Structure 1
């Protein structure tokens, strides 16, 4: 058996709103940087999930076949 008998539910209903502002910085026709800043607002469990967010992504576009 198990040392600790624990039941966990992986299905949550957590309504939220995320506001975002972003910036696309092209370096050339095939490479660019995407930066997004946001804030997450939750209806419940604010202490665990609410707060600022930052995402940074490098975009590289492959060549088109001719």
Structure 2
């Protein structure tokens, strides 16, 4: 385990030990950072779409130009 992974594990363990209201307050504080909030939204979208079939760039561009 790297130093970064160990640090992340410590922070996550501390987060899990918080009361629900404290966890919500912490998350709300994180979401005040607009860039971080955007990154988190993208991470959720990526996780949800992992099981979708992939599309090649050529196919995507062909479909996109056909819509115009």
Smaller-chain TM-score range? under 0.3
Report the TM-score when normalising by structure 2. 0.19
Greater helix proportion: 2
- Which of the pair has the greater relative contact order for Cα pairs under 8 Å at 6+ separation? 1
Higher alpha-carbon Rg? 1
TM-score, normalisation: structure 1: 0.19
